[in-house]
Amino acid sequence: MIDALIGGTLHAAAVGKTASNGKPYATAKVRAAVGTESVFVNVICFDATECAALLALSAGEPVSLAGELTPKVWTPANGEPRPVLDMVAHAVLTTYAVQRKRKAVEPKAQHSKGTAQARQQRAAMDSLEPLDDGGTLL
C-alpha cells in the first residue's frame, strides 16, 4: 500500500453502488498523465462525502484524489502488459470544492483585510506632521 495524491481527469462518469451490507460506495476510472503517457487509476471510495463529490463529476472533468494506492499490471488479450493503479480514495478534491471554499473564505478575508488597511491608513495619517501654511508643495 502506498499513500498517494493523484490528479487527472475522470475517464467516465463515476458509478454509485450499494454493498451487500447496505452501505453505498462509488467507483470511477481516472486518467492520470505521466509524462507523455497516461495511466488509468481505478478508484473506489466509501465515505459519503467523497462519494457525493465523485458522483457529481462528469467524464473529462479534473479531479484530485488522496488515498491508498496499489500498483498492478493489466494485460489486454492481444497486447503488451500495461501499468494500472487501484486506489481506495479517502479524499476527493474537485474544482467545485475549491471554488466553494474560496467563496466561503473570501468575504471574511476581504473584511479583515479592509479592517487592517483602515487601521494602517489611520496610523499613517496620525503619524504625519501638519503642513506649514506658508510653505509650498512641489
As for how many domains the chain has, the answer is: 1
> What's the CATH code of the domain at 91?
2.40.50.140
In a domain, 83, yes or no: yes
Question: Under DSSP, is residue 13 helix (H, G, I), strand (E, B) or coil?
Answer: coil
Spatial distance between the Cα atoms of 32 and 41, rounded to a whole number of angstroms:
7
In a domain, 104, yes or no: no
In a domain, 39, yes or no: yes
In a domain, 67, yes or no: yes
In a domain, 122, yes or no: no
Amino acid letter, 18:
T
Bridge partners (DSSP) listed for residue 49: none
In a domain, 138, yes or no: no
pLDDT for 137 equals 45
Whether the CB-CB separation of 8 and 33 falls below 8 Å is answered with yes
In a domain, 136, yes or no: no
* Domain that includes residue 10, residue range: 2-96
pLDDT for 107 equals 63
In a domain, 131, yes or no: no
Bridge partners (DSSP) listed for residue 25: 17
Per-residue pLDDT of the chain (138 residues; tens, 9 = 90+): 799 999 999 999 999 999 999 899 999 999 998 888 889 999 999 999 899 989 989 899 999 999 999 999 988 888 888 888 999 999 998 877 667 667 777 665 555 555 666 666 656 555 555 545 554 444
Spatial distance between the Cα atoms of 3 and 117, rounded to a whole number of angstroms:
43
DSSP for 19-46, written as a single string: -TTS-EEEEEEEEEEETTEEEEEEEEE-
